[in-house]
Chains A and B, each alone.
Chain A
Amino acid sequence: MAPRQSTPRAVLACGEVRTTLLPARQALDIRSAAGLLALRADERVLLSERPGLYARSPATLTGVDCPLPSANGARIRAVGTVTAHAALTEGRVLQTSAHCSLPATGPDQRRPWGEYLVRPGVVEPLGKLPHEAVARGVLDGPRRGDLDVGLIADGLLTRLLRHPLLDQRAPFRSRPTRLRWAALPAAPGEGPSLERFTLAEDELRTVRLRVPEDTAATDLATLCDDLALHDWLLTTVVRMLDGVRLGATAAEDPGAAVRALRPAVDHLLHLWMPGARVSRELAPLWAPLEERPGFTRQWQAMVQRIRDQLTLHTVQAVHREAEPAP
């Protein structure tokens, strides 16, 4: 059996991102972040300080040989490797992300393992890939035993959360989110587009993309990490504001609103930088989200609301002090 030379073109890329608050009292500095994310001895953690503190682990590979999820019930076996990495933004928000890309066709029989290892992050079907059905299957959620990149992201997250650098004292309560994505080829000559962004369940989001055929899967993963990060920020701050009782009930305990909103100011408000790490080709994909529902618009409104609440509290405090004691 002669080894095959070229990698066939991918017609589907899919992945899943987990986003969570780092369970540590203090945000990790760049050196600790590098320590946390040193998943491999032979490769360095990517660190950058502009436009914000960001660390990304080297990629790890997980071998898979299992059926693909598919919406039409077809059981297509696929073999290859899923790539996964972790990222830490401002030493505060931890993400793990796993993805793979799939070519339109693969060999009818399983090849020697070495042939798959030379194509990291590629999972090849045995035979033809019904990519539209598999994309739907991925977004609907795999059945037990199917390829589940989310499990790989979750396994990496579990491993990182056990790290001794983490004191398990998160500064506030929040919920992790999952973002599942699938990217299909765009029509020839078309640019990238975002077909759908849905809030499927409380903490699950699904994203369906169309991208030109030569788009690198790692760029897609970076884009989806970025979407997941900002969606998590929005979700978390919305919930924080939801939990605060304003108006009449707030008068009973004027400090309550400050205590509830302070973590947002301390840890989250400065993290909003949509698109900062996204490749130039994929940057336009942010535009539809900015238009409707308007991610940044909602964020600005919330930031303003938080600042207003804090200002109100300060004014009240000064007012109380100025009043003569009875």
Chain B
Amino acid sequence: MLVFAASDKGGTGRSVTSANLAYQRALTGDHVAYVDFDFGSPTAAAVFDVPGAMRGAKEHGLHSYLEGETAEPVRIDVWRQTEHPLLRTRPNQSGRLVLFPGDIGGGEFATGEEALERCVDLLLRLNSEFDVIFVDLSAGRSYAVDMVLAATAHPRMRALPFRWLVFHRWTRQHVIAASGLVHAEHGILRGGVERGHDEDALRAAIRFVRAAVPDPEAPSGPQVSSAQATWMQACDEALRRLAADHRIGDSVVLGIVPLEPILQWQEQLITEEDVLSTQIANKETLEALEEIARRLTDDTHWGRL
């Protein structure tokens, strides 16, 4: 299955959350590919902690591949090449976790027919090899978004199941922007239909993930006064109404990732050790990620609307 990770704005936690979802799926035994189509600001190498391996990706990354300059994009086996001490011992019964990085310094580029064919070749080959393929897309209605919309409508791709995750933060501006990315005149739905997608089928394949959501019910400690807590609850309520009005209400939300302090400091994978041993990460964050990873392929969360 292909999973496209999109967001309207940067800083929504799209890359770090989808990398964590990829990690969680690999832990459950799936073979997982993480394809970095975030042309412009590739961050996956940092999240998976493979900076050393990236040096080899200078000129054989996904840009070079799509432009026809390299026949096979470089692949980084995360378990083997990560510099993260905990990840290096590949967990028992886990699946493969392979990163396909973009080229260092490669930006957005215009796509032509041949790049589209090569994109289709790549996605088909990955699909024959991996159980889940995460494709991290540049923010907004980028070339990357257009390319995968065209690729998934391509006749050769008819048999490939795909799903979209749209990441947004839990603020007014982000809610409106995320809705716009999907539903607006120049949004994913309209763009998909122009490229041959069925609108209802495409809509049914899109879910939202709210990231970095503060918990309004959190006990008011020394840092949160009761007045602040009441205000936050009211805010949360207003945001829910706003989201529903913008057609991204709870029924199309796949999951909510709570605000996680360590992710504010550093984009990284959240491991069980971070929660249990060192306790630097919150249990709720890990549970949320595990649950979203599970729901990705649970059809009851993808019923048609």
Q: Which residues of A contact B (CB under 8 A)?
A: 20-21, 23, 144, 151, 154-155, 158, 161-162, 167-170, 173-176, 202, 243, 245
Question: In the complex the two chains form, what is the Cα distance from A151 to B69 in whole Å?
Answer: 11
Q: How far is the CA of A175 from the CA of B96 in the complex (A)?
A: 12
The count of residues in chain B whose C-beta lies closer than 8 Å to any C-beta of chain A is 22
| Known pairs A23-B128, A168-B160, A174-B128; A243 contacts B59 (CB<8 A) | no
Q: Which residues of B contact A (CB under 8 A)?
A: 29, 31, 59, 71-72, 77, 93, 95, 117, 121, 124-125, 127-131, 156-160
Can you name 18 extra interface pairs (CB under 8 A) apart from A168-B124, A175-B129? Answer: A23-B128, A154-B71, A158-B71, A158-B121, A161-B125, A167-B159, A168-B127, A168-B156, A168-B157, A169-B159, A173-B128, A173-B129, A173-B130, A174-B128, A174-B129, A243-B29, A245-B29, A245-B93
Complex interface: chain A residues within 8 A of B95 (CB): 243
Q: Please, which residue of chain A has its CB at the minimum distance from the CB of B120?
A: A162
Asked if residues A176 and B129 are in contact (CB atoms below 8 Å), the reply is yes
Residues in B with CB closer than 8 Å to A170 are: 128
Contacts of A167 in B (CB 8 A): 159
Complex partner residue of A151 from B29, B71, B128, CB under 8 angstroms: B71
Bound together, the chains give a CA A21 to CA B129 distance in angstroms of 10
Closest Cβ–Cβ distance, residue A299 to chain B (whole Å): 22
Query: What residues of chain B lie closer than 8 Å to A174, measured between beta carbons?
Result: 128-129
Q: Chain A nearest CB: distance from B265 CB in Å?
A: 34
B130 to chain A: which residues have CB within 8 Å? Answer: 173
Cβ contacts under 8 Å, B59 to chain A: 144
8 closest A-B pairs by CB:
A169-B159, A154-B71, A168-B159, A170-B128, A151-B71, A175-B129, A23-B128, A168-B124
B159: chain A residues at CB < 8 Å are 167-169
Q: For residue B117, which residue of chain A has the nearest CB?
A: A162
Among A23, A154, A243, contact of B124 (Cβ-Cβ < 8 Å)? A23
Contacts of B71 in A (CB 8 A): 151, 154-155, 158
Contact B128 A21 (CB under 8 A): yes
In chain A, what residue has the closest Cβ to B93?
A245
Minimum C-beta distance from A109 to chain B (A): 30
Min Cβ gap B29→A in Å is 7
Given A151-B71, A168-B124, check contact A162 B129 (CB 8 Å): no
Most chain B beta-carbon neighbours within 10 Å: one of A161, A168, A243:
A168
| List of B residues within 8 angstroms of A202 by Cβ | 77
What are some 25 contacts across the A-B interface (CB < 8 A)?
A21-B128, A23-B124, A23-B128, A154-B72, A158-B121, A161-B121, A161-B124, A161-B125, A162-B117, A162-B156, A168-B124, A168-B156, A168-B157, A168-B158, A168-B160, A173-B128, A173-B129, A173-B130, A174-B129, A175-B129, A176-B125, A202-B77, A243-B29, A245-B29, A245-B93
- Inside 8 A of B31's CB, which chain A residues have their CB? 173
**A26 → chain B, closest Cβ, in Å?**
13
Specify which chain B residues have a CB less than 8 angstroms from the CB of A23 in the assembled complex.
124, 128
In this complex, what residue of A is CB-closest to B121? A158
